[in-house]
């Protein structure tokens, strides 16, 4: 009887099922996690109680109505397009871009309308831009 040595098979560790389980756990935790928006900031805008300036510089007043209509020094523009606002401001300023620009926006005006006015004034080279506000009513 011949006893020979049996060949032993190489032992291999199959990692495929382990990787599958890890990926399934990862997907489970990603789906079940609740995402909170902690970067959201609540803004409560302050009131302005400053003193009025005595000197009256040359002023270019741009108003924005609650409907988004623009007015330059009280005169309405024909539409609410940026190009129309740009031409109107250029025309009202003449060649004097050192004037003070006062932007009066209705509290119901869209934020985009006010940003458009700021963008137009800045692109024309105005550096002295003021946002108008009113004095708060005294508390009784």
Tokens of 111: 């934020």
Residue 55 pLDDT exceeds 50 = yes
We report the CATH number of the domain holding residue 96 as 3.30.420.270
44 assigned to some structural domain: no
137 assigned to some structural domain: no
76 assigned to some structural domain: yes
122 assigned to some structural domain: yes
Q: Any idea of the CA torsion for 78, 79, 81, 87, to the nearest 10 degrees?
A: 10
With residue 102 as reference, give the H or E element that holds it: strand 100-105
Sheet hosting strand 129-131, strand order edge to edge: 75-76, 70-72, 59-64, 100-105, 129-131
* pLDDT of amino acid 44: 47
Count of the separate structural domains present in the chain: 1
74 assigned to some structural domain: yes
Domain span at 127: 59-131
Give the pLDDT mean for 1-22. Answer: 80
How does pLDDT run across 60-107, given as a tens digit for each residue? 888 888 888 898 988 889 998 999 999 999 999 888 888 888 888 887
pTM comes to 0.56
- CA 30 to chain CA centroid, Å, is 29
At residue 47 the predicted structure's pLDDT band, cuts being 50, 70 and 90, is low
């Amino acid at each position: 009887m011949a006893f020979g040595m049996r060949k032993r098979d190489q032992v291999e560790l199959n990692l495929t099922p382990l990787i599958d389980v890890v990926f399934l756990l990862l997907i489970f935790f990603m789906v079940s996690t609740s995402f909170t928006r902690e970067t959201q900031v609540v803004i409560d805008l302050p009131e302005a109680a400053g003193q009025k300036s005595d000197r009256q510089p040359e002023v270019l007043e741009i108003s924005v109505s609650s409907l988004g209509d623009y007015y330059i020094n009280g005169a309405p523009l024909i539409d609410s397009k940026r190009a129309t606002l740009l031409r109107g401001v250029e025309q009202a300023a003449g060649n004097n871009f050192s004037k003070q620009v006062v932007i009066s926006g209705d509290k119901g005006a869209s934020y985009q309308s006010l940003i458009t006015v700021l963008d137009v004034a800045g692109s024309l080279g105005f550096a002295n831009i003021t946002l108008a506000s009113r004095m708060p009513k005294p508390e009784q």
